[in-house]
Amino acid sequence: MTQLTHAQISDAKSNDLDAVSSVIRETEELVKARARRFATTAGHTDSDLVEDLTQVGRIAVWEALGEFAGDDPAQFMAHIDRRITRAMADARREATRPGVSAYTAKRFEHALCLAGGDPYEAEKIAASEERGTDRLTPDLARAARLSWLGLDSLDRPVNSARHGESFTLGDVIAQEMGVPADLVDSADIASHRRRVIRECVHRTLGLLSERQRHVLKADHGIVPLGFYGDGPDADLAADMGVTTDQVKQARSKGKVRFSELYRAGARAW
């Protein structure tokens, strides 16, 4: 619901100061709410990003005023919501996907959904010929994957609330390897990240329904299941004691749910 009137919206579109001020006041809570939503990942809210996105949203409100045709309050608020949501999504992508364009980031994220949340498989999919006009070059797909994962530094503080600001990623890896921190190098970062991703994959699979988990494990040959990915769904359905339609539904819903959960968890570590 909105308190704005037809007259206020019409006057705001004509740059009437009082009417514009009314629109800004009416949309402020919506802007802040959307900013908090876009700046929150895995339960953690980036306060600096909230502030930046709030400014993006306010600008989007101004721009949306000139784009809206009509003066219906409910339709206007829906238009505003779509406009600030789109603007904040683009702004968040630029802030959290450094080094790649919005075009590249969007196509990689689509490939990530097709890959069930696996960024390395998504890199292959994004660069495959099957993507058609949405295909990325191998170099762009790799850049998008690195951007999505986040470029790490051995000096990055880790779990500072528990260990203090001086405890770094290098210290974490050194503890895992049982070697002095000054012997850790970039190759060890890659090994550490692969282990974290494996753990995140299995943790995320554990959050799915039993049927969804079984189908996705079978599709990729994740132990203790064998690899069914190249075979007909009828084989997997027979082994599970379900219909092929149930296998397809479990796969479709499972991939979507897995992708959502994995993307939320993978960036939290």
d(CA 231, CA 130): 20
At residue 250's C-alpha, the angle toward residues 247 and 252, to 5°, is: 105
Proportion of the chain above pLDDT 70, given as a percent: 73
**What is the structure's pLDDT at 146?**
73
**What is the structure's pLDDT at 268?**
43
CA dihedral sign of residues 244, 204, 114, 124: negative
Provide the whole-model pTM: 0.45
Which stretches in the chain have pLDDT values below 50?
151-153, 266-269
**pLDDT per residue over 223-264, tens digit each?**
777 788 777 889 889 989 999 999 999 988 888 887 777 665
d(CA 8, CA 18): 8
